[in-house]
Amino acid sequence: MAYTVPQIRSMVVSEAMRQGVDPALALAVAANESSFNPGATSRVGAQGVMQLMPATAKWLGVSDPYDPVQNIRGGVKYIKQLIGQFGDSRTAVAAYNFGPGNVSKGRKWPGETEVYVGRVMNSWNEYGGEYATPYPTITPTPLEKSSWTRPLWASTGTQPTARKLVVE
């Protein structure tokens, strides 16, 4: 079955929400990895929407990396695991690109990874993620400022309406 970019984006958002990952971060990774192309293969052999390497895909339980449902499920699971391992999204994104072993060993990120992390962070901002400017209609009270760094929708359990524009 052929999928449209809006369908792929919708799958990414749904899976991210199901797994408790910021949908904007998952969208940013998918956009920078494959431009939402389920048939993408990189020059080094990464496959599918989330550009999983074959060994990583197998480890994540993905039997068909070109099946967008499996690939997205595995890629979002991987992002979640990396955030848990490294404690912050920026380092997790670097590990997604450079490999968690390299990051754990404290190896200097190569230029390609630095560029990749910057692009993903910019995309995350554009999709409305953690680094985005808060929506102008919401002004925090002094009591809310302690949780100001979380995505605004995380505290209410509902996504802002503006996110729907990303997947339609």
Using DSSP's 3-state secondary structure scheme, residue 36 falls into coil
Phi and psi of 41, rounded to 5°? Answer: -135, 130
Model pLDDT, residue 146? 40
Catalytic residue annotation: 33
How far apart (Å, rounded) are the C-alpha atoms in residues 104 and 114?
16
- Token pair of 77, please? 């699971």
pTM here is: 0.77
pLDDT in tens, 13-59: 999 999 999 999 999 999 999 999 999 999 999 999 999 999 999 99
Enumerate long-range contacts of 71-74, CB under 8 Å, 24 or more apart.
71/38, 71/47, 72/8, 72/11, 72/12, 72/15, 72/26, 72/30, 73/15, 74/50
Res. 165: pLDDT tops 70 = no
How far apart (Å, rounded) are the C-alpha atoms in residues 73 and 71?
5
